[in-house]
Chains A and B, each alone.
Chain A
């Protein structure tokens, strides 16, 4: 609410919004930043939450990795900043 508002949180905080869409916890997945090529665990993205949606940015280059917008009965998900996502699926 003022100039001391923290700039960002960790990608951890997007876990609930992403779990509405995915059957796995996507915050533990690793993705490759489309802009700089760095591999980032989504939980370690810089998450901007004081916005009309959630914006996850690369901790290396600040490029947008993902965006999640939640409407009353819909979610929009943009992952185009991630060229690939690795999801661990151990045999149950």
Chain B
């Protein structure tokens, strides 16, 4: 830790946040690359099982699925948290209902090449969605539109923007940030930011 800067207080904190997090009211845009612009007619979502079987939805087919409207808290590993965000999306329980798998892990991949991994069970039981609407509006490209993964109980880098597919795997396969120092699981309440945390 450096010397204290007199009169520098940094950001606001809230008692009910995960350790090391700060409250923000706006919605910071983080990006590891250029923002993909995906036309709805070109968009699709593919779930690929460990046996190579593919389940694919066009935008039209995806939007015909039943949706949910979760209100959730977001925790970004860059230390901001945003509370009570309102989304609309399709539950992964719905998408995976007819998928036969014995896989234990999932690797989400996105338009633009981003990837992130998590145990498959963290995508189930009403804990994860493919979200296409934020705060009542269509999801903008900078926030991951047309659709992003939303796994709010893990750090936000797991909620892959511009998601295009989910691969189901027997072995955990670290994604973009997980191969560069970030935690394979990323539970904000246990402050699992980096390798070994």
Contact = CB atoms under 8 A, between A and B. Distances in A.
Q: In the complex, is A directly touching B at CB under 8 Å?
A: yes
Interface of A: 1-3, 5, 7-8, 48, 50-53, 55, 57, 62, 64, 67, 69, 71, 74-76, 78
Interface in B41-90: 77-78
Given A3-B142, A50-B30, A55-B33, 7 more contacts: A2-B26, A50-B29, A52-B77, A52-B177, A53-B180, A57-B34, A64-B33
Contacts of B78: 51-52
Contacts of A52: 30, 32, 77-78, 157, 177, 182
20 contacts: A1-B26, A3-B29, A3-B142, A5-B29, A5-B142, A7-B34, A51-B30, A52-B78, A52-B177, A53-B181, A55-B32, A55-B33, A57-B34, A64-B33, A69-B194, A71-B193, A75-B181, A76-B180, A76-B181, A78-B180
Interface of B: 26, 28-35, 77-78, 113, 140, 142, 157, 177, 179-182, 193-195
A32 B157 CA distance: 29
Contacts of A67: 180
Nearest to A67: B180
A74 B35 CA distance: 29
Nearest to A8: B34
B194 A71 contact: yes
A51 B32 contact: yes
Nearest to B141: A3
Nearest to A68: B180
A69 B33 CA distance: 15
Contacts of A57: 33-34
A31 B10 CA distance: 38
A12 to B, nearest CB: 18
B179 A78 contact: yes
Contacts of A2: 26, 29
B112 to A, nearest CB: 9
Given A74-B181, A78-B179, A78-B180, A48 B28 contact: no
